[in-house]
Amino acid sequence: MNASLLCSAIVAALLLASPAHAEETVSSWTTFTPRGNESASALIKRGQEAYQARCNLCHGRIPKDAAPGFGTRMSGTEALAAKYGNKKPPVLEERTDLTVDVVKFFVRHGSGIMPFFRKTEVSEADLDAMAAYLTRKR
């Protein structure tokens, strides 16, 4: 599955990730422990790399000096901006309200137009790393 589908999937998931919905989707992932021997900083770095490779196409920042046209539309960023207005940042990397459970649930289960992603498409290790990156303390 390509990066734009993964990004679309994450956008749709986060559009539905309201506090009420998040309570409905509580899973066994309530505590997060890095896999293997990766330190927290190495895990977050890996998560940032995976996020940049798979999600940034739809969830990145729109460059201020970008000319209109292909490559300047960030469907995930635009959708979150429309949904939340000024209440929450539309760029996922700037959000502080995401949880590991929400990120993992929507990547694995999809929602609306967002497809689910199998372990062969997004490995458990990459998903752990992306969830750690997006939920890190800032």
Q: Which domains does the chain have, with CATH numbers?
A: 3-134 (1.10.760)
Higher pLDDT, 46 or 86: 46
% pLDDT > 70, the chain: 64
DSSP label at 93? G
Tell me what the pLDDT averaged over the chain comes to.
Answer: 75
How much is the average pLDDT of 129-133?
97
Report pLDDT for 114. Answer: 66
Judge contact between 25 and 105, C-beta under 8 A. yes
What confidence tens digit (pLDDT) does each residue in 60-83 have?
887 777 666 655 677 788 888 888
Which residue shows structure tokens 């760029």?
A: 91
% pLDDT > 90, the chain: 33
Nearest to 21 by CA among 105, 115, 122: 105
Distance CA 59, CA 92 (A): 6
